[in-house]
Amino acid sequence: MATVTLQGNQFNTSGELPAVGSTAPDFHLVDGKLNDVHLADYSGKKRILNIVPSLDTPTCATSTRKFNEKVVDRGDVVVLVVSADLPFAQGRFCEVEGLKNVVPLSLMRTRAFARDYGVLMTDGPLAGITARAVVVIDENGQVIYTQLVPEIADEPDYEAALAAL
């Protein structure tokens, strides 16, 4: 179990992020057309998992916008934004913001992704949704970078995540 803070108050997660060098756990998430998607659906590309509590918060929205901007010329990279938001809300957010370089994915059907990646909040006001984290996975499915953002209200280290690519 790891700990994060929200405005200085400490909360627990369900585990630890996957170790750098390990094979990334498969996942079952839901896309904007209500299709089930898995990690293998993005094989052959480098993947940035931008894991956020909800796109309906300023920091989550900012991180999604920034990753969208930073990969605009990277055809070998896909940014998967994982949140507890419903696919409809995720789609509206991306449409309103004009975000074309990120793929929003929802925990709508199961919290297994959040448990398997060690980011499920287990207590406090955000229990049941994810802590903020970034996991970078290479084209072969190996974890090459992770960051559990210590303070949920803070942005991730974009440059470190991109440098891992």
Residue in 4, 39, 60, 143 annotated catalytic? 60
Amino acid letter for position 8: G
Q: Which residues pair with 137 in a beta bridge?
A: 47, 143
How many H helices and E strands in the chain? 4, 9
Contact between 136 and 47 under an 8 Å Cβ cutoff? The reply is yes
Tokens of 49: 């998992």
Nearest CA to 51 out of 163, 162, 160, 156 is that of: 156
Active site residue 94: no
CA distances from residue 84 to 25, 78, 79, 143 in whole angstroms, order as listed: 18, 19, 16, 22
Tokens of 145: 């970078």
Q: Which residues are catalytic?
A: 60
